[in-house]
Structure 1
Amino acid sequence: MEPGSMENLSILYQSRDFLVVNKHWDVRIDSKTWRETLTLQKQLRHHFPELADPDTYYGFRFCHQLDFSTSGALCVALNKAAAGSAYKCFKERRVTKAYLALVRGHIQESRMTISYAIGRNNTEGRAHTMCIEGTQGCENPKPSLTELVVLEHGLYAGDPVSKVLLQPLTGRTHQLRVHCSALNHPIVGDLTYGQASGREEQPFRMMLHAFYLRIPTQTECVEARTPDPFVPTLDACWSPHTLVQPLDQLVQVLQAAHDPKPTEGDTGPCSPSSCLPGPGRPPPHPATPPETEAQRASCLQWLSEWTLEPDN
């Protein structure tokens, strides 16, 4: 995957209501500053001017967000009704997301559940970062769950590295980056949560990629899988030497698993994703409580226009 440009936007899925693109690393979704010469919003306007919605400031409704440094599958709703159906899936935790990452060190367990609670860091100079419960300056930590499966062991630029599949079961800011760092296996190229040895300045990008996305709306199963960006043919610094778990087998598990049922109405078109199998898997989410007036107002505002603040 080459660095982002206005021309090389990769489309993974397209229908009348949704568009899923393969976002490049180091590209913001949108921005209010004139200094951002390249954003995903500008790429979409360039390739799909006819799909831009004049009722929104940026022209497109992004169903979720990826960090500036993270690449991969990102879904765009093309109208208010589609945005509402996607919002409901995210709110009810019925969306399946899986990420690929290269992390420092060789993780010995083949799979694990990471459950560190995550809060905002109020330490001076770290105001825009997150931290785990129990560390200095960790404010209002919330329960957070991530499933991790080791795919390969190898070397990156001569240093021991593991390739992993990560499935966030909650949606905290910077969750995957914070959880990997808390394990002492930070993501390669993560300048914020990586090691202080200076090695993270060497990789050309942060090695975190949104690989698989599944949004089971009532009318349409939005499902997309990207190519694997962490292979030696695309990055000569990465040299895997031990296969632990084939990626294709895990994808089959994700695709075959049943989606959590919606809180009301009939099951949508995604009949046969949930978390990966293995020991330590958390219990099913409790029933979603009734939506409050404040939540409904927030949803209505989101439907009229969802603008995202720049990450990092």
Structure 2
Amino acid sequence: MEPGSVENLSIVYRSRDFLVVNKHWDVRIDSKTWRETVTLQKQLRHRFPELADPDTYYGFRFCHQLDFSTSGALCVALNKAAAGSAYKCFKERRVTKAYLALVRGHVQESRMTISYAIGKSSVEGRAHTMCIEGTPGCENPKPSLTELIVLEHGLYAGDPVSKVLLQPLTGRTHQLRVHCSALSHPVVGDLTYGQGGGREEQPFRMMLHALYLRVPTGAECVEACTPDPFVPTLDACWSPHTLVHPLNKLIQALQTAPDPEPTVGPPPCSPAAPRPADLETEAQRTSCLQWLLEWTMEPDS
């Protein structure tokens, strides 16, 4: 996958109501600053000017976020009704996501569940970063779960590295990067949570990629699998030597797995009367209604 430009947007799924794009690394979803010459929003406007919605701030309704440095599958709703149906899936945690990463060191356990609670860091100089419960300055940590499966062991630029499949079961900010770092296996090229000494400045990108996405809306099941960017033919620095789990079988398992059952109460803005414990605050309802009207996102931090 070549670096992003306004012209080279890759589409991996398209219907009347949705697009799934393969976002480039080091590209923001949107931006209010003139300095961002390439953003996903600009790529979409260039490729699909007829699909831009003048009623939204950025022209397109992004269903979720990917970090600036992360590449891969990102879903875009093309109208308000589609946006609402996708939002319901995300709110009820019925969306299936899987990521690929190259992480430092050889992970010894072939499968594991990472369960460190994640909170915001209040340490000076660490603004906008996250941390695990028990570390100094970690505020309001919340339960977080990630499934990790080792795919391959090998070397990256001569250093031991593992290729892993990561499936987030919760949706905390920077969850995968924080969880890998907490295991002492940070993502290769992660300047925020990686190893010090300038080591992570050498790789040309952060090695985290959104591989698979399934959003089972009521009208259609939006499903997309992006190409694996971490192969020697695309990056000569990566040299795998030991296969642990074949990726194609894990993708097949994701595709045939049943969709998760809803894990929250009534849908947002539902006219049905919820039980008292499920009542949303007025602020939450106002936020939800505003979201349904436009659904735009702030730039990545």
Q: TM-score, normalised by structure 1?
A: 0.90
1:221 is aligned with what amino acid? Answer: C
Partner of 1:268: none
Post-superposition offset of 1:304: 2.1
Task: Report the counterpart of residue 24 of structure 1 in structure 2.
Answer: 24
Give the 3-state SS of the residue equivalent to 2:86 in structure 1. helix
CA distance in 2, matches of 1:290, 1:101: 39
The residue that corresponds to 2:272 in the other structure is: none
Alignment of 1:37-116 (within 5 A): 37-116=37-116
Number of paired residues? Answer: 290
CA distance in 2, matches of 1:64, 1:158: 36
In structure 1, what is the Cα distance between the partners aligned to 2:126 and 2:300? 14
**In structure 2, C-alpha distance between the alignment counterparts of 1:301 and 1:137, rounded to whole Å:** 33
Alignment match, 2:166: 166
Kept in 2, the 8 Å contact 1:115–1:143? The answer is yes
Question: In 2, are the aligned partners of 1:68 and 1:310 still within 8 Å (CA)?
Answer: no
Task: Provide the residue aligned with 1:211 in structure 2.
Answer: 211
Helix, strand or coil: the match of 2:188?
coil
User: Is the aligned partner of 1:300 residue 2:289?
Assistant: yes
TM-aligned CA distance change 1:301 to 1:183, over 3 Å: same
Residue equivalent to 1:15: 15
1:116-127 matches, within 5 Å, as 116-127=116-127
For 1:167, the aligned partner's letter is Q
Residues 42-96 of structure 1: CA deviation (Å, up to 9, x unaligned): 0000000000001001000000000000000000000000000000000000000
1:203-282 pair list within 5 angstroms: 203-262=203-262
Shift of 1:306: 2.9
Q: How far apart are 1:198 and its partner, in Å? A: 1.7
Indicate the SS of the match to 2:210. strand
Q: Equivalent residue of 1:50, what SS?
A: helix
Alpha-carbon RMSD: 1.4
Which amino acid in structure 2 is aligned with residue 309 of structure 1?
Answer: E
Shift of 1:172: 0.5
Aligned counterpart, 2:148: 148
Counterpart contact for 1:12–1:21, Cα < 8 Å:
yes
> In structure 2, the residue corresponding to 1:126 is in which secondary structure?
coil
Q: Which residue of 1 aligns with 2:271?
A: none
Q: Please tell me whether the aligned partners of residues 60 and 296 of structure 2 are also in contact (alpha carbons under 8 angstroms).
A: no
Distance in 1 (alpha carbons) for counterparts of 2:152 and 2:279? 43
> Is the contact made by 1:21 and 1:75 (CA closer than 8 Å) also made in structure 2?
yes
1:303 positional shift: 1.9
Structure 2 vs 1, CA of residues 133 and 264 (structure 1 numbering), >3 Å: closer, same or farther? Answer: closer
Does the CA-based 8 Å contact 2:83-2:295 persist in structure 1?
no
CA distance in 1, matches of 2:95, 2:54: 28
Deviation string, structure 1 residues 159-200 (Cα, Å, up to 9, x no partner): 000000000000000000000000000000000000003210
What amino acid sits opposite 1:96 in the alignment? Answer: T
Matched position secondary structure for 2:42: helix
Q: Distance in 2 between matches of 1:27 and 1:260?
A: 30
Q: Structure 2: how far apart are the matches of 1:13 and 1:290? A: 36
Q: Is the 8 A contact 1:152 1:242 kept in 2?
A: yes
**Percent identity for Structure 1 against Structure 2:** 87
Distance 1:85 1:290 in 2: 20
3-state SS, counterpart of residue 166 of structure 2: strand
Counterparts of 2:279 and 2:166, CA distance in 1: 30
